[in-house]
Amino acid sequence: MNHSKPSPLDVQLQVLSALMLRDMRTRFGRTIWGNLVVVLWPTAHVMIIVATMAIRHMPAPLGDSLVQFIFTGMAPMVVFIYLSRKMMEGIVTNRPLLSFPDVKFLDICLSRAAVEVLNLAASVALTMLILFAVGVDPIPEHPATAVAALCGTFLFALGMGFINANIVILFPPYAVGFSLIIILMYALSGVFFVPDGMPQELYDAFLWNPMTNAIMWFRSAYYPGHGENASPLYLMMSGGVLLLIGLIWEKTLTKKSL
């Protein structure tokens, strides 16, 4: 009886599946409640910020609902924060697995990214259901634009996640320092304000931030006419360039250090 040798692609898929299952079981436990907690965590992140801003009774910079405005800024930002950070944490916690011949740096990054994408998609959907339940309309006027903006944000976060994973292998304290980058992204991306009203020189500077473009693009699905200067191409090219740099970095420097 002949037993065909599995192809490299089959081996790769088996490794990714095993890493995803291991990731979910070690982080979430073997029950549905563990998975629910992980989905609820980003949702709680968004809702706490939304509730905090709503309590202050600030006027909405766009539209009639401050809650909707904050949600449209927080949704892309949470996608960026969680995906880029969790990929970095994944390579830290799973580094011992690299001693197995079939497990590669790329496998750990991709498996963690796949798990996080699924979790974040569920979290955004759950947040929208909660907002709908409390009387806030979370449905965009242009759903395709909103989905495209989140996909572009996923790509940028994926590229940043690969960069983070490479850096933390060479410099472990970076895992803590990335928190400062997150704070800067909150302050400089337009989550809580509209960059359009700034002086032209400052506004142009803000547009160099890919996440500013991501948020403006996502908000344009809710507020027609907003975000005309946002560049989806710039956001996606930024993600693609970071991803390419991360892959080259892994093949040249990270592999040697490992």
Following CA atoms 221, 223, 226, 230 in sequence, which dihedral angle do they give, to the nearest 10 degrees? -20
The pLDDT, as a whole number, for residue 258 is 65
3-state SS class at 186:
helix
pLDDT of residue 29: 62
Distance CA 188, CA 207 (A): 10
Decide which of 36 and 205 is more confident.
205
Burial 123-161 (b: 16+ CB within 10 A, else e): bbebbbeebeeeebebebeeeebbebbbebbbbbbbbbb
pLDDT in tens, 95-145: 888 787 778 888 888 888 998 898 888 888 888 998 888 888 889 999 999
- Asked whether residue 24 is domain-assigned, the answer is yes
Residue 182: Cβ-neighbour burial (10 angstroms; 0-12, 13-18, 19+): middle
Q: Which pair of structure tokens corresponds to residue 80?
A: 């960026």
Mind listing the pLDDT tens digit for each residue in 140-161?
Answer: 999 999 999 999 999 999 999 9
2 within a domain of the structure (yes/no): no
Assess if residue 15 is contained within a domain: yes
- 59: which DSSP letter? P
Does residue 3 sit within a domain? no
Domain interval for residue 156: 8-257
How many domains does the structure of the chain reveal?
1
Question: In this predicted structure, what is the pLDDT of residue 105?
Answer: 86
DSSP letters along 134-153, please? TT-----SSHHHHHHHHHHH
1 inside domain? no
d(CA 78, CA 90): 17
Fill in the DSSP letter of residue 96. G
